[in-house]
Structure 1
Amino acid sequence: MTYRGTRGYAAEADALARQYESLSSDQVLGDVLPLLPEKPGRVLDVGAGTGRDAAALALRGHAVTAVEPTAELRAHGRRLHSHAGIEWLDDTLPDLTAVRGTYDAVLLVAVWMHLDPDERPRAMRRLADLLASRGVVLLTLRHGPTPPGRHMFDVPADETVAHAAEAGLRTVHRSAWDDLLGRPDVHWTTLAFARS
Structure 2
Amino acid sequence: MASNAGYAEQADERARGDLTWDVERARADELHLFPVEPCRVLDVGAGTGKDAAWLAGLGHTVTAVEPTDELRAHGARLYPDAGLTWIEAGLPELAGVTGEYDFVLLSAVWMHLDAVERAHGMGRLAELLAPGGRAFMTLRHGPVPAGRRMFDVSGDETAALAAEHGLRTVVNSTGHPDYTDRPGVSWTRVVLGRPAGAGAAG
Bin for the TM-score computed over the shorter chain: over 0.9
For the residue of structure 1 that corresponds to 2:103, the secondary structure is strand
Report what 1:187 is aligned to.
186
Instruction: State the distance in 2 between where 1:29 and 1:105 align.
Output: 16
Report what 2:46 is aligned to.
48
TM-score by length of 1: 0.93
Change (3 A) 1:174 1:112: same
- Would the aligned equivalents of 2:41 and 2:105 in 1 still touch at CA under 8 Å? yes
Instruction: State the distance in 1 between where 2:104 and 2:27 align.
Output: 13
TM-score by length of 2: 0.90
Question: Please, which runs of 5 or more residues in structure 2 have no aligned partner?
Answer: 196-202
Report what 2:200 is aligned to.
none
The 5-angstrom pairing of residues 37-186 of structure 1 reads 37-175=35-173, 176-186=175-185
- Would the aligned equivalents of 1:104 and 1:136 in 2 still touch at CA under 8 Å? yes
- Would the aligned equivalents of 1:139 and 1:190 in 2 still touch at CA under 8 Å? yes
Report what 1:6 is aligned to.
4
Instruction: State the distance in 1 between where 2:153 and 2:133 align.
Output: 24
Q: Deviations over 1:14-71 (max 9, x none)?
A: 1122334443222344334333333211100000001011001000111100000001
TM-aligned CA deviation for residue 164 of structure 1: 1.0
Instruction: State the distance in 1 between where 2:165 and 2:135 align.
Output: 12
- Would the aligned equivalents of 1:172 and 1:193 in 2 still touch at CA under 8 Å? yes
Instruction: State the distance in 1 between where 2:164 and 2:40 align.
Output: 24
Change (3 A) 1:46 1:28: farther
Instruction: State the distance in 2 between where 1:170 and 1:126 align.
Output: 15
- Would the aligned equivalents of 2:134 and 2:191 in 1 still touch at CA under 8 Å? yes
Identity of aligned residues (%): 55
Question: Please, which runs of 5 or more residues in structure 1 have no aligned partner?
Answer: none
Change (3 A) 1:135 1:91: same
Q: Deviations over 1:72-91 (max 9, x none)?
A: 11111111111211000100
RMSD: 1.5
